[in-house]
Chains A and B, each alone.
Chain A
Amino acid sequence: MMLELLLGGILLTSLIFYVLTGGADYGAGIWSMLTRGASGHRQRGLIDSAIAPIWEANHVWLILVITLLFAAFPRAYAVISTTLHIPLTVFLIGVVLRGSAFAFRTNDVEPRNEKDSAQVVWARVFAWSSLLASFMLGMIIGAIASGRLAGRPSTYYSTYVAPWLAPFPLLVGCFAVALFAYLAAMYLILETNDRHLQEDFHTRAVWSGLVVAVLELGILMLSQKGAPEIYEGLTTTVGGHLTVVFTNAVTWFSMLALWRRWYRTARVTAAIQVALIVFGWAMSQYPYLIVPDVTIADAAAPDATLQILLWSLLAGALLLFPSLYYLYWIFKFHTLPSPNQAKADSATDTAPGLRTSSQ
């Protein structure tokens, strides 16, 4: 029993890491949709330079999540990938388009011309596919939480469409879009020294943060009917109450920090806020992996597998975290709280898009 809980915890942690890093990359893509006007060019440059070195590493969290799911909880993986075939496929199309459009865009032959028609197409595909992937990811999680996957499989519609085509999963999809955009705006403020760009993303963080707060409330209300397990988990247990109170407190504190322009604090609290939201979802549906019939214990692989998996994860983590730290230290040093901040290069200095434009 301990083993599967431990692996469930690692699975959840990996998912939180994915949302905090990969999710923010999607969010940055969503913002690139709104980069118009005079500063649009600089905003896109900021987004490119911020995510280019790290997006592929961030993306691997998703692969880790999915491999952990099928290695440790094969039955849950089988159920999810059968009933949610359609949204997963659409999600994947979003993932493919986002990644390839971004790669085509940022690795074009230099000097790059932003007016080039191919560049314009890639920019659009990148933005829309980021939006699509975020929405689908949220919808998939919403469907898993809603308890609709257990619908009696009689017709095609009831088996493969009804589980996700419902108000609750759709709202969670919208929520994921807002959440990722919010996270990205919070991160991007600190990725530049340009006051105007900071202001642009400050405004966006405020608005998207308000949308997140409103949607949080909306989801809680809708879950009463749309995802009763979640509602019950959040409103009737002590842990649920604590999570709701805590998440709310952090949400409003993030907004306050943003308002007062304590950007470094705001960035940290926003990340905590998002992590708490994902944690709250998982906790409220415990002990279910898929509400309401697949529990963590039901779906778990035999102990022999779980043990070797745990050892592999420990060994892997020893390799992974120092490497990740090195990556972020190299590229994000200037955005981390540090007295040497001024010494680090400014973000604009290394933006591939901007470097070429200044040549």
Chain B
Amino acid sequence: MNDLLAARSQMAMSLAFHIIFAAIGIAMPLMMTIAEWCWIRTKDLDYLMLAKRWSKGAAILFAVGAISGTVLSFELGLLWPTFMEKAGPMVGPLFALEGFAFFTEAIFLGIYLYGWTRLSPLAHVMTGAVVTVSGIASAIAVTVANAWMNAPRGFDMAGGVVRNIRPLEVMTNPYAPYQTVHMVLAAFAATGLLVAGIHAAMLLYRKPHGFHCHALRIALVVGGIPTLLQPISGDFLAKAVAEYQPTKLAAIEAQFRTEAGAPFRLGGIPDERTETVRFDLEIPSLLSLLLYGDPSATVQGLDRVPHLDWPPVAVVHLAFQVMVSAGIIMTTVVLWAAWRWKQGTLYQDRRLLWTLTLSTPLGFLAIETGWIVTEVGRQPWIIHGILRTSEAVTPMPGIMVPFVLFTLLYGLLMLVVIWTIWCHIAATGRPNVGVSIFEASASRGGMTK
């Protein structure tokens, strides 16, 4: 493995690890806040216990998200110093804003997690809302920075030198809204269905019990609505990719030749050498129709750029197929659940509960493959059309070593996290915790009234 590949692997592994915790960190606070709000409204103790249980688990996931995010902010320089030297002045202010959003998130998360007995219930639930909003804000800032790497603007290039930087243009990148909306929706959809799956599994072998029923409903609302919106956002994003990164789009669709009336390829294995796709199912003219609303529109193929500038077509195409398939399954499951909910048999349909359980990881599978599409699809560029990844990598040899170190470290952490969360889930049968804290919080609430 050469140093460039090691550096890319380390970055990919770190991002793949962090994105899970980042996404959970965006969506969990909303669910905790909703559960607590329901408790305030209904005085149903199960809701309070749910908020407590969720926040206990979330505390661990947040911490891991915060530290893996720290690692990333260093790795940008450790692995890609040339990139940061060029991009720092442009995306730097975005990261500063992200820093403040993260600050707010961490501060109010601390208050939320440890302030149960120190705040009135209303003030406490408000801090949960602040955590949610700041979490979304920090996700937006980071994704806007990534959108800039995909569609760079806000500066002039003259003879390889960056001049006349306009950071406001970086922040108001027209490509960014498509990507940020898609990412934020993905975070809610994936986390919501993950949590819904866990509680559906608990409902399968425990009597329908207030706690898990409440949990399932909240998770389905928080995850379900974004799941249904995601195809629309994906459609907008695909059109934006076609406009700003036609090469990436061509790789996604394995469109080797520029073509009028391009087909939509389902599945298949693209072969870069022969420029063909095997084993795929082609739906004639559909791609042109989807992108431009015209079945005979021309779709730009990979042939428009030199082979040297192609991303790895097979990886991008397959990752996209997996993402879309996961999305389609999630949409179906959510519609099914919504139908059962309307009928009032949400907790009785065992086949639905089983499907929800099996769909637990699908959202995160879609997030990971979606990031593969956007990151691998931009290769060989680190800043699209401006700076090659190979030019940005650190001159330090032996990157293999930190790559292996961090992979082992994160692998171990992941196992411990799963094990710890599993202990938390297994403990839901023991109701003592939530109630004892309720008493403290109720007495405190009484004091403040």
Chain A interfacial positions (CB closer than 8 Å to B):
52-54, 56-57, 59-60, 62-64, 66-68, 70-72, 74-75, 77-82, 85, 88-89, 92-93, 95-97, 99-100, 102-104, 106-110, 156, 159-160, 301-302, 304-305, 308-309, 312-313, 315-316, 319-320, 323-324, 326-327, 330-331, 345, 350, 352, 359
Contacts and interface: CB of A to CB of B under 8 A. Distances in A.
B110 A56 contact: yes
Interface in B363-398: 394-398
Contact of B103 (A71, A81, A323): A323
Given A70-B88, A82-B396, A85-B394, A57 B110 contact: yes
A326 to B, nearest CB: 7
B165 A304 contact: yes
24 contacts: A56-B66, A60-B99, A64-B96, A66-B70, A66-B73, A67-B95, A68-B96, A71-B89, A71-B91, A81-B84, A85-B78, A92-B70, A95-B70, A96-B413, A100-B416, A103-B63, A107-B57, A108-B423, A301-B88, A302-B89, A304-B166, A305-B90, A312-B100, A326-B111
Nearest to A73: B88
Contacts of B165: 301-302, 304-305
Interface of B: 56-57, 59-60, 62-64, 66-71, 73-74, 76-78, 81-82, 84-86, 88-93, 95-100, 102-104, 106-111, 113-115, 117-119, 164-168, 394-398, 402, 405-406, 409, 413, 416, 420, 423-424, 427, 433, 436
Contacts of B168: 308
A305 B89 contact: yes
B106 A60 contact: yes
Contacts of A88: 74, 78
A117 B46 CA distance: 32
Nearest to B109: A56
| Chain B binding surface, main DSSP class | helix
Nearest to B76: A70
B92 A71 contact: yes
B77 A78 contact: yes
Given A53-B111, A304-B167, A104 B396 contact: no
A76 to B, nearest CB: 10
B108 A78 contact: no
Contact of B98 (A57, A67, A100): A67
**Which 4 pairs between the two chains have the least Cβ-Cβ distance?**
A71-B92, A81-B77, A74-B88, A103-B63
Nearest to B416: A104
B103 A96 contact: no
Contact of A71 (B81, B93, B166, B423): B93
A71 B86 CA distance: 10
A316 B97 CA distance: 7
Contact of B93 (A92, A97, A305): A305
B68 A96 contact: yes
Pick from A75, A81, A156, A320 the residue with the most CB of B within 10 Å: A81
B396 A305 contact: no
Nearest to B77: A81
B114 A331 contact: yes
Given A100-B63, A100-B64, A104-B60, A109 B424 contact: yes
Contact of B84 (A68, A74, A159, A345): A74
